[in-house]
Amino acid sequence: MKTINLKYADRIVAFLGVNGKVYSSDCDHQECLEMYYKDAGIKSEFDYSKDYDTEKEKAVEKTFAMKNAHIAYGFDLFDVADDEYALLAHDKETFEKNKKWMESYRKENNSSPIELGYFLEGGSWEAEIVA
C-alpha cells in the first residue's frame, strides 16, 4: 500500500452507483444523481438555475444521505501522472464492498495502468492505493 496526494491530480470521471447501477459523468456527482433521477422517473428536487452552488451542495448532501442508506456509492477516476490513473472509492468501506466492480472497470479500461484505492478520512486530498 502507498499513499498518494491528489492535490494537483485531475479528476476525469465521477461515478455514482445506485441500487446496483453505475452512472458516470465528467462533470460531478450531482450530474450522476440527476441521471439516476431521470432513469428512475423521479422529479429532480434541485433547481440549478436559482443558485448553482447552493443547489449543487444540496445534491452532494443528498448523495451522502443515500450512501448512509447503503444504496449509493461514490467513486472517482483521477489522472495522477502521465499515463497513470487511480480509481478511488470515497471511503474504505465503499472500496471493500465494491472492489470487484473496481477491478472489473480496471480490466475493461486497461489501455493505461489504473491503481485502485480509497480517499483517506478527514477530507484531505490524500488517498490510499491498495491494488
pLDDT in tens, 1-12: 899 888 889 989
* pLDDT of amino acid 123: 64
> What confidence score (pLDDT) does residue 20 get?
83
**Which of 7-11, 62-66, 86-90, 103-107 is the least confident region?**
62-66
Give the list of residues 6+ apart from residue 11 with CB closer than 8 angstroms, or none. 76, 77, 78, 79
- Compute the mean pLDDT over every residue in the chain, rounded to the nearest whole number: 89
Rounded CA-CA distance 102/86 in Å is 10
Cα 73 to Cα 95: distance, rounded to the nearest angstrom: 9
Does the pLDDT value for residue 56 go beyond 80?
Answer: yes
pTM for this structure? 0.84
Provide the β-strand partners of residue 18: 21, 72
Q: Is the pLDDT of residue 88 over 90?
A: yes
Residue with cell 451542495: 57
**Which CA distances in Å does 121 have to 82, 110, 118, 128, 130?**
26, 28, 9, 10, 15
What are the pLDDT digits (tens) for 9-46? 998 999 999 888 899 998 888 899 999 999 999 999 99
Alpha carbons 119 and 77: distance in angstroms, whole number: 12
73 and 67 Cβ atoms separated by less than 8 Å: yes
